[in-house]
Amino acid sequence: MENLIALLIAAPLLGAAVLLCGGRRLDAVGHWIGTVLAAASFVIGVLLFADMLGKAADHRAVTQHLFSWIPVAGFQADVTFRLDQLSMTFVLLITGVGSLIHLYSVGYMEHDERRRRFFGYLNLFLAAMLLLVLADNYLLLYVGWEGVGLASYLLIGFWQHKPSAATAAKKAFLVNRVGDVGLSIAIMLMFTTFGTFAFTPVLGAVDGASEGKLTAIALMLLLAACGKSAQVPLQSWLGDAMEGPTPVSALIHAATMVTAGVYLIVRSGALFDAAPDAQLVVTVVGAVTLLFGAIVGCAKDDIKKALAGSTMSQIGYMVLAAGLGPIGYAFAIMHLVTHGFFKAGLFLGAGSVMHGMNDEVDMRRYGGLRKYMPVTFVTFGLGYLAIIGFPGLSGFFSKDKIIEAAFAKGGTEGWILGGAALLGAALTAYYMTRVMLMTFFGEERWRARPTASPAEPDVEPAAEERGTHAEPHPHESPWIMTIPMIVLAFGSVFAGAFFGVGNRFLHWLEPVTGHEEGNSPVSAATVTAATLVLLLVGVGIAYLQYGRRPVPAVAPRGSLLTRAARRDLLQDDFNHVVLVRGGEHLTRSLVYVDHTLVDGVVNGSAASMGGLSGRLRRLQNGYARSYAVSMFGGAAVLIALTLLMRAV
């Protein structure tokens, strides 16, 4: 049975190869080839899952050795796949949600003449992501990691004719590179410390290694995770990545790719457990990001960017949980899976809204859409209820557990982390209610459109195209797009209860991640109650602001914080001032040193040699008698020196 593992990757990889090399002949059927192969991978995943369920909990991890990749004495890199409960969870999430999004894309990309290529890239992404989660050693994981980065670059920049999309793709790629460097350094450190980079030997040997080295490795892994998972300080690419087609945002930037960082941390759990300092940094990064993303999400008028802020914030929850150690690993993955459902559903809903609204993304141009798009409204609404943690839905079970685990960390840290997580829950409720109200409720602001957009410095770039479209005619999307949304809505509603009741998910993952019960200073019931109160407060404030009052069609100037949040809390400005300007100054001063000092020495010595020889040349005057003088002079000096030496 374990021989099927390679097929999981091979199916989408074959799809990518066929679609990208097949040429225009496949234009008519390419999207179905891609979808069928993604679904095939999912079917294989389900078969393996069924097989795994038949085994005892401790014997579920299987490996498949494919071939020796780089066999050198003392350095053994194998292509080996490892399928355990953790990778199984990811395989089902990636192929399941991935197949649904393939199906959705068939409808969404219907009018795009490069649809075949789009499906090729989607398949390539699936293959890379599966390689990432199935690899049995860090080097192979790195291959998948880079493959995911490549696929992300290709998909964000899919509409490359738009300069903004091309720039966003480059930005995502470059920011990801920073994290990738961290991962490669971590792998090198692992090799020098443990002499190997396969999971089992490395994670088994952490007890013998010095804590300083472990902390260094863990921090480098965290840097890698920050890059892929868009955590502070490497989060700036995620908002811009919304330039890609909406299915890309749903698949890559919500459900799967950005979770790679969480996977990396949970997979390396034993290593992080042995480096408490690094773990503390992980929790801080998670807590900061979950507030950061939530604040950004509160201010964005672009529906996709608001959702991107929300993604960042939810991944922050997962990273926070992963940083808590064995108390939180399982809950991080559980939130990851439920988030995969509801965030993919929300993004697909947003795509459906855009589809019916002439690709308008500004929520101030929406309003009252629930009458025109009932299916989208219901599925998006269920996703909304799930993400804010409405009791009984997915987010309620998974997020609540993380908040409890944060308090269970104990001490002052526990209170701070738990408080941040609680505040994040309130902010989540606020910004999601805002999205919901602005999109589906209120007056129909898309009817009365100004012909030209007034010059406002603070509005989103999407406003450029305002006034160029005719008045939209909102309509429900075709069945091929609504079916995936309905399936994901089911997941959003029931996945949490299915996983959470009786701690089913926890027991499933426990053999891989381990688990400890924390002793929380506050009881679970108190946490739940506090979460619900804050949820109501968030929803209430949003309702007062956007439900009771009409939403202005042009964004008001807003407070200082709002304006900062609209600019991603000045992240790009910070990067520009500190990194770009700093880099420019550094290179300029290096160029100056190079020109003056290095070139000065070289050119100066050359010039002085030239000058000297120019003067020496004058001695060659052609007069035989002057040469005779030199000879006599030289001979006289030699004789004088000889005599002198003799005398001494």
Partner 1 sequence: MNPVNYLYLAALLFTIGATGVLIRRNAIVLFMCIELMLNACNLAFVTFSRMHGNLDGQIIAFFTMVVAAAEVVVGLAIIVSLFRSRHSASVDDASLMKL
Tokens 């381990």, residue located: 514
CB of 647 to partner 1, least distance (A): 19
Among 70, 577, 629, 641, binds partner 1 (CB under 8 A): 629
3-state secondary structure of 81: strand
Q: What is the CA radius of gyration of the chain?
A: 31
- The three-state (H, E, C) secondary structure of 264-313, written as one string: HHHHCHHHHHCCHHHHHHHHHHHHHHHHHHHHHHHHCCEHHHHHHHHHHH
Q: Taking the CB of residue 159, how many other CB atoms lie within 10 A of it?
A: 18
Tell me if 15 sits within 8 A of 38, measured CB to CB.
yes
- Nearest Cα residue to 282 out of 197, 209, 220: 220
Among 21, 452, 455, 624, binds partner 1 (CB under 8 A): 624
DSSP element (H, E) containing 208: none
Tokens 């330039």, residue located: 243
- Is 615 a binding residue for partner 1 by CB under 8 A? The answer is no
Among 623, 646, 647, 648, binds partner 1 (CB under 8 A): 623
Among 552, 625, 645, 648, binds partner 1 (CB under 8 A): 625
Residues 6+ apart with CB under 8 A from 225: 179, 231, 260, 261, 262, 264, 265, 319
Identity of the residue, 561 or 640, whose beta carbon is nearer to partner 1 in the bound complex: 640
Q: Which stretch binds partner 1 (CB under 8 A): 98-106, 216-224, 595-603, 618-626?
A: 618-626
Identity of the residue, 598 or 629, whose beta carbon is nearer to partner 1 in the bound complex: 629
Q: At what angle do helices 374-388 and 394-408 cross, to 10 degrees?
A: 20
CB of 622 to partner 1, least distance (A): 3
Among 54, 74, 502, 622, binds partner 1 (CB under 8 A): 622
Identity of the residue, 457 or 622, whose beta carbon is nearer to partner 1 in the bound complex: 622
Among 570, 632, 634, 638, binds partner 1 (CB under 8 A): 632
Identity of the residue, 75 or 627, whose beta carbon is nearer to partner 1 in the bound complex: 627
- Nearest Cα residue to 417 out of 245, 288, 529, 328: 288
- Nearest Cα residue to 349 out of 111, 159, 104: 104
Tokens 């880099």, residue located: 583
Among 620, 645, 646, 647, binds partner 1 (CB under 8 A): 620
CB of 633 to partner 1, least distance (A): 11
Residue 279 φ/ψ, nearest 5 degrees: -60, -40
Residues near partner 1 (CB under 8 A), total: 10
Among 161, 548, 617, 646, binds partner 1 (CB under 8 A): 617
Distance CA 537, CA 532 (A): 9
> What does the block give as tokens for 13?
């990889």
Site string for partner 1, 564-603 (x = CB under 8 A): ----------------------------------------
CB of 586 to partner 1, least distance (A): 48
Site residues (vs partner 1, CB under 8 A) = 617, 620-625, 628-629, 632
